[in-house]
Structure 1
Amino acid sequence: MRRSMIAGIAAGSVLVTAAVTGVAVAAGNAQPPQATGWHQNGRLYGPMSDMRPMSRMHDIHVGSEFDYLAEMVAHHQEAVTAAGQLQRSNRAELRTLGASIVKAQSAEIASMKKWLAAWHPGRSTAVDYRPMMRDLSKLSGDALDKAFLQDMIPHHMVAVMMSQQLLMRRQAEHEEVRAFAASVRDTQHSEMFQMQRYLSDWFGTGSWDMPGMGW
């Protein structure tokens, strides 16, 4: 089964900037900080070992256009499921954001599946996807809003880094995929900082101020 590309998320906006500008991360040379609780050799050590799957760290690696599309379908599907829960939010801003994510990423999933079928017929698109987000279905009010924001920011970060890696390594075989990756990078980068502002304004916390992170 294909090794999951999802993860290797280092904390903070420095890595986000690196993902967007192509500094180190896009070149595939960035080394994550060796913080307590880091994933090493496929095993999680330290205080993060009992945390939700969203917080676990892995190595981001985009091997090809096919791998990028197959993994991004699973990644988008998780985002659509989580964003759909925001229709229960008491905040109009989050209901609007959730509806936007569901609409945009559902359409992108359809496009990616179409490309996979047309350009890579007969290949299995099953991936070893490791969920990054909590189950939000039992949360409501501030608990729902805060959990969504805390989980979706690093979720977006992974998509930004995957997309920039594909572009910098010139792995897109089709112009449609190149344009798609650039759009994912730019759109989700912008949404990340919007969500960071919401966390700060509403909860007085940054996106990485999560229990057990230990950064």
Structure 2
Amino acid sequence: MRVRALVLVVALGLAGGLSGCGIDDLRSERRHGGPMRMTMVSSEATYLAEMIPHHEEAVRAAEELARSPRATMREFGEDIVRTQTAQIVQMREWLRQWYPDQAEDTTYRPMMRDLTRLEGDALDRTFLQDMVGHHMMAVMMSQHLLRDGTTHPEVEDLAQEISDEQRREIRQMSRWLAAWFGLRTSGMHGGMQPQ
């Protein structure tokens, strides 16, 4: 059973644990024209089915960084593509093996803006702003699953890896936003703010 709701108490508690990342960064509806969907996974199978399209969106966005003027961003994009593509392959295999009746989520709504027409600083800034919120969602989904428990230790390990890895990347992206664009995540009150 899928449970989808914007649960402020849960979001505030989890976002608060991200050390300096704001809840407003999760509220992509202001940038994307619709309400953000807060997924609270109800099972290991649902987590896998919903994390696959979430990762696929991140991979597509990260591939756009091949056009970045910054070598650091190009390398960052390559790392995301490599890591999350391997995780997608693994999650698909687990779904096929353990949950053959569980289809991948086909109702996934993108969280990130279209980057295909952006260049230079606009590309890097938009990617970082959107990917912070995108990563925060993956951390929340993973933490929810870890809290409720998994059936297979392999999925528990993956959820912990996604949570840890993407928290580190959120901190790094926040540093780049501050250093390159004078933007900072401002806790629960303002999303991205000029410094």
Q: TM-score range by the shorter chain?
A: 0.7 to 0.9
Can you give the 5+ residue segments of structure 2 that lack an aligned partner in the other structure? 186-190
The equivalent residue for 1:195 is 173
The equivalent residue for 1:23 is none
CA deviation vs aligned residue, 1:137-194 (integer Å, no higher than 9, x gap): 1000000000000000010001011101100111x11010000000000000000000
Equivalent position to 1:52, from 22, 27, 32: 32
> Cα RMSD between the aligned structures?
3.0
1:206 aligns with 2:184: yes
Within 5 Å, give how 1:77-156 maps onto structure 2.
Answer: 77-156=56-135
Can you give the 5+ residue segments of structure 1 that lack an aligned partner in the other structure? 21-32, 211-215
SS of 1:206's partner is: strand
Q: Which structure shows the higher helix fraction?
A: 2
Q: CA deviation at 1:124?
A: 2.3
Distance in 1 separating the partners of 2:144 and 2:161: 13
The equivalent residue for 2:154 is 176
The equivalent residue for 1:160 is 139
Distance 1:9 1:71, change over 3 A: farther
CA deviation vs aligned residue, 1:80-112 (integer Å, no higher than 9, x gap): 000000010001110110000000000000000
The one-letter amino acid of 1:77's match is E
Percent of counterpart pairs with the same letter?
Answer: 44
So what's the TM-score if we normalise by structure 2?
0.83
Instruction: Give the paired residue count.
Output: 183
Equivalent position to 2:44, from 65, 90, 106: 65
The one-letter amino acid of 2:65's match is L
Distance in 2 separating the partners of 1:125 and 1:14: 28
